[in-house]
Structure 1
Amino acid sequence: MKLAPHLHRLGNDVVSCYLIDTDDGITLVDAALPGHWHDLQNELRSLGKTADDIRGLVLTHGDSDHIGFAERLRREHGVPVYVHAADADRARTGEKPKTPLGTMKVGAALGFFSYSLRKNGLRTTYVSEVVEVADGDVLDLPGSPVIVGMPGHSPGSVAVHVPLADAVFVGDALTTRHVLTGRTGPQPAPFTDDPAESRASLDRLAQLPASWVLPGHGAPSHATPVEVAEAVRQAAG
């Protein structure tokens, strides 16, 4: 689905990832669930392109619902997969600490798990090889994505700032639809390793110039990062 010039979304408000389309090729941000491979192919066809036009995949972090088709894309098409060094092991092995579930509403939680099942979410293939990145890196990929460290949800959580698309991709640094409660609007994401550190990272988001803030779960926010960061703080209480 096209959101704006250069900017496309795969998936929906439950789980999503993003495509940046340029004259120099395509950059992906996150890889959602394995079943989103078919969504990717459909979106590429609509652009008159193929997976061979993808120059790189940038992960906002290494959780399983963000690396879905990453290894297939790497293995079958030679697309490099970029992830912060602090989340490289998570992307390669899936190892992560257990976190409290917190508040949950049965209908919303079942909807999330049902959608994940339909998109082969229980058949995660971890990424065999990754390219490690660090805070402040400007990647040599279409759109020149900038890595902005946003630790908290995971040690290597990042935002990906792409000025060409006037957008910042935040992964699970925040959410606009809580997958366990169904609550909408900017708010802290569940399954966060260190909530206090995640809230502190909002200061970094607020400094970025963009008119789109794009989470891995929930509707895209056509608001400035500073507005979204403040809304998340207010929701956190």
Structure 2
Amino acid sequence: MHECLWAEFVSIRIPGDGGWRTSGIVPLRRKWVRFNRRVVSNLLRVRTPIVNFHVLKDESGLVLLDAGFIGGARRLRCALTERGWDKEPIRGILLTHGHLDHILNVARLAEETGAWIAAPGLDRDRYLGRGKSGGWSQVAGALEGIGRPLLGFRPFTPDRWIDDGNEIDTWGGLRAVHLPGHTEGHTGYYCESRRLLFCGDLFASLGRWSHFPPAILNSEPARSAEPATSPRPRQSAQARLRMSPNSASSRGTP
């Protein structure tokens, strides 16, 4: 099992739908959704307080999918050493969105490794520490405002801006999927060859169960469910992506 990761993923099929949607429709019927397990090669999950992040490995080296929260850099080093990837170069850092628990370590890791940074363009103010929040999300926004100086957050400007539909040439190819609501630019990444969607904070998880994040964490809570729950084909995740993924990986803590 050294080359594979037992990772926890959501896999939901809606009766009569003929395909897969991004988990959101089920929490509307019941509060929690059960996880399935799947083995995925060349994928490493790094566990940090509150949120996990991922490392993708291909022939060119490693790409981080988000950069974790408190202690993330140290835990990354430990995880890479344990997996035997510590000699592999970190080529890039690909972000799902601009919340502090996903970007705290970005500037430091990019400086140490020379990695490029690619991130959703609609969250650009958040990378500079100027993100705005409205409604209940002002609670989380206020906590982020306190946390940035206390935790030593360093603003940064990505090398590449990501928009919906962009292709990222790593891990056999990833396609950007705009999943708004959690933040303005919140974006997932779909790997067609593995039929796997990294969906950021579209949903949260605890152990083998999944649910939508609370409203205080979503800039536009109604929109966070829209791609997954809308009956209109144009807005459904499957129709927008023209895909049928078997699995989705979120931020959860196994």
Give the TM interval when normalised to the shorter protein: 0.7 to 0.9
User: For the Cα contact (< 8 Å) 1:87–1:156, is it kept in 2?
Assistant: yes
Corresponding residue of 1:122: 151
Distance 1:57 1:192, change over 3 A: same
Structure 2 stretches of 5 or more lacking a match? 7-39, 229-234
Deviation at 1:34, TM superposition (A): 4.3
2:227 equivalent in structure 1: 201
Kept in 1, the 8 Å contact 2:53–2:66? The answer is yes
Written as runs of structure 1 = structure 2, the 5 A alignment for 1:82-161 is: 82-100=118-136, 122-161=151-190
Q: Which residue, out of 212, 233, 236, partners 2:247?
A: 212
* 1:188-211 residue CA offsets vs partner (Å, 9 max, x unmatched): 113101111111122544454333
Deviation at 1:160, TM superposition (A): 1.1
Shift in alpha-carbon separation, 1:127–1:99, aligned structure 2, 3 A: farther
| Residue 73 of structure 2 corresponds to residue 49 of structure 1 | no
User: Following the alignment from structure 1 to structure 2, what is the Cα–Cα distance between the partners of residues 83 and 214?
Assistant: 18
**Do the aligned partners of 2:61 and 2:90 also contact (CA within 8 Å) in 1?**
yes
Confirm or deny that 1:6 pairs with 2:6. Answer: no
> Contact between 1:65 and 1:121, CA under 8 Å: does it hold in 2?
no
- Residues 108-152 of structure 1, C-alpha deviations (whole Å, 9 max, x = no match): xxxxx9xxx9xx983322324442111001112233221001011
Q: What CA distance in whole angstroms lies between the structure 1 residues aligned with 2:135 and 2:64?
A: 28
Shift in alpha-carbon separation, 1:40–1:34, aligned structure 2, 3 A: same
Q: 1:187-198 counterparts in 2 under 5 A?
A: 187-190=211-214, 191-198=217-224
Contact persistence 1:62–1:94 (CA under 8 A): no
Q: TM-score, structure 1 length as denominator?
A: 0.72
Q: Secondary structure at the match of 2:167?
A: coil
Q: How has the CA–CA distance of structure 1 residues 8 and 135 changed in structure 2, closer, same or farther, with 3 Å as cutoff? A: same
- 1:162 counterpart residue number: 191
2:52 paired with 1:16: yes
Report the identity percentage: 23
- 1:30 and 2:59 matched: no
TM (normalized to structure 2)?
0.68
Post-superposition shift, 1:12? 5.3
Q: Which amino acid aligns with 1:200?
A: E
Conserved? CA contact 2:123–2:131, under 8 Å: no
Q: Which runs of 5+ in 1 are unaligned?
A: 103-112, 178-182, 220-237
CA–CA separation in structure 2 for the residues paired with 1:34 and 1:12: 7
Deviation at 1:17, TM superposition (A): 0.3
Which consecutive segments of 4 or more residues in structure 1 shift more than 6 A?
none
Closer, same or farther in 2 for the Cα pair 1:13/1:41, shift >3 Å?
closer
Q: Larger % of helix: which? A: 1
SS in 2 for 1:171: coil
Conserved? CA contact 1:6–1:165, under 8 Å: no
Measure how far apart 1:164 and its partner are.
4.5
RMSD (CA atoms): 2.9
Cα distance between partner residues in 2 of 1:92 and 1:165: 34
What amino acid is aligned across from residue 205 of structure 2 in structure 1? T
Q: How many residues align?
A: 199
Name the counterpart of 1:77.
Answer: 113
Task: Return the offset for 1:85.
Answer: 0.8
Distance (whole Å) between structure 2 residues aligned to residue 143 and residue 46 of structure 1: 24
In 2, Cα distance between the equivalents of 1:133 and 1:47?
29
Which secondary structure state, in structure 2, belongs to the residue aligned with residue 96 of structure 1? coil
Equivalent residue of 2:56, what SS?
Answer: strand
